[in-house]
Each structure stands twice: as structure tokens, then as C-alpha cells.
Amino acid sequence: MLTTAGTGHADPYAPPAAVPELAPSTLDVRYAAGRRSIEKALATAQEVRDTERMRALGAFLRPGRRFLYFDPRGDGRAIEVIGDLTRAKRVAVLVPGADTTLTAFDDRGDKPWSTPGGGARAVYTQALSQSPHPQLAVVAWLGYAAPGTFSSEVLTGERAGEGGAQLRRFLAGVHRVNPSAGIGLLCHSYGSVVCGRAALDAPGGQAWRDVTDIALYGSPGTTAWSAAKFSGSARVWAGRGATDWTEDVPHVRIFGLGLGPDPVSPAFGARVFDAGGAGHSDYLEPGSTSLRNLTGIALGRTSDVTQH
């Protein structure tokens, strides 16, 4: 039985309604189903006086917001799209890290850019500042159960393995919606472990070949020994800000514990982009060097990305 996180009580939130497979003809159906599920979850939050969920879900229902998927059970899952997924030449998928829940989808104190929703909007706004028609869609992808920062699960790739499988399934759906779009994965913190597992385990096929760029930032490791181990031909990028604490994470992997080599190390073989002075939660801060470079990666404009 599902339980409400930390309470031991039965989860009051209903499972999401069944939705059709992602395809051009089902996008509007999926968006409408997501909105209905959010409305239903908001009513439940009001009934059980779950004030944090009430605030978060109320924001989800603001005009113009579109969710391809929403599940309020447990810590929750949500997939939001900004831009036109069917016409975009590029699709950026933001994969968040530990401690990401529905209540943290938009709100983390005074750093909204450190959330999936806020980060996706920051990338989209940055792209618009560089071109009035960037032909970019940005996806805030909370499609897996993120571990807690101080949990034992954050030291292993188990959650990442499950998340990687879900991410590959989602990318196959994106390919059906828009077969010509190039995809950039923007993978933060433990989200880089998810992207790493997705890349390591990718069986091939066109959906994965659509991934042209994988950016690992604030990464504690990916469980891969090198970027060359990733399946496919994507450019692999890595960046760490000057004040990011992940520099001090032990980069080992023994008997399934630890997350492996440091992605910004020369031996890993990634293209190291300039992340400026970013702290762990600051990579998508408006006006930052890291946001400018990550947006360039999202757009596939390698010449716009400053490297170390």
C-alpha cells in the first residue's frame, strides 16, 4: 500500500487516469488528462489540509501550463512541457536530482531556477533572449522517484536505473511526436546518474540516436567509467561551478556503492564547459555563465559553448 511520505498513513491521492501512448494526435488528450488529474489532486489536498501540496498544485493550474503526465502519489511525478513539442527543432529535457518532489517542482526558497519547473523556464527564457524564434521545447522531467540527499539510496544507482528506463521510454515518445527533433539532456546532480544509466543501458534505435547532447552538471558521478561507455553518438558535456560542493564527493564505485569517476576529470573524456562560479543549486540562474552554456548545449549550438 502506498503511504504518505513520512507519515505511515495510506496515501490519500488517487492514481492517475490511464493515458494514451505519446503521439502527435494524443498530445492534447494527455495535456487535458494531466490537468484533470491535478485538479483532482488539489481537491484531495484541500480535503486533507495538505497545505504544501495545495500551494504547489495551485501553481500547476496557472493558465498556459501543460503537463504530459502527473501522478500525485508518494512524493509525486510530473512532466511539464514549455514550447511546441511538435514543431521544435530541438527538445531539451531537464532531469533533476535528489530531493525533487511535487512540492519542490517550482519552489525552493529564493532559487526558483533550482527546480525542474523554474529551471525549464530559465532555459526557455534564455533561448528566447538569444533568438525570438529558437524553435526549442523544454521539458521539466520529474519522471522518476528521486532519492533523498541524505538517504542511502543516493549512494547507489538503483533509483537511477529505474529512472533511466523511464527516461528512455519517454524519449521514444518524444521521437513519435517529433521524429526530426534533436534532443539535449540537461542532467543535474543525481539526475546525471539517471542520464548515465539511460545512456549505458540504451539498446540503440532511432529514439536514442535523437539524443545529440548530454550535459552533466553538479554531478557526483554517473556509474560509468568514461563518457565513451555511453551508448550512441551524443556529445557528452560536463561542468562544475567553482562553489559546488560535489567537488568533494568521493568518486569511487565498489560493490555497487558510489557513483564512479568524476565527469569533469580529464580521464572521463567529456567536453568540460565553463560553469562559472555556480554553486550546486545555481547552474540555471538567470544571467549566469552556466545557464548561457547549458542553453547553448540544449540548442545544439556547440560554437556558443565556452569550454575549459
Total domains present in the chain: 1
Give the domain CATH number at 229: 3.40.50.1820
- Supply the range of the domain harboring residue 249: 67-304
Report how far residue 142's alpha carbon sits from residue 154's, in angstroms, rounded to the nearest whole number.
16
For residue 13, tell me if it sits in a domain. no
Q: What is the pLDDT of residue 157?
A: 61
For 124-179, where are the E strands, in sequence order? Answer: 136-142
Over residues 135-179, the pLDDT tens digits come to 999 999 999 999 876 555 555 667 788 999 999 999 999 999 999
Given a cut of 50, the residues of the chain with pLDDT beneath it are 1-7, 252-257
Q: What is the pLDDT of residue 8?
A: 53
For residue 143, tell me if it sits in a domain. yes
Contact 290, 216 (CB under 8 A): no
For residue 215, tell me if it sits in a domain. yes
Phi/psi-derived region of residue 135, left when phi > 0, alpha when psi is between -120 and 50, beta in every other case: left
Q: What is the pLDDT of residue 178?
A: 97
Q: What is the pLDDT of residue 227?
A: 94
For residue 38, tell me if it sits in a domain. no
Contact 41, 12 (CB under 8 A): no
Helix (H, G, I), strand (E, B) or coil at 266: helix
Give me the amino acid identity at 154: V
For residue 201, tell me if it sits in a domain. yes
For residue 28, tell me if it sits in a domain. no
What global pTM score does this model have?
Answer: 0.93
For residue 44, tell me if it sits in a domain. no
For residue 20, tell me if it sits in a domain. no
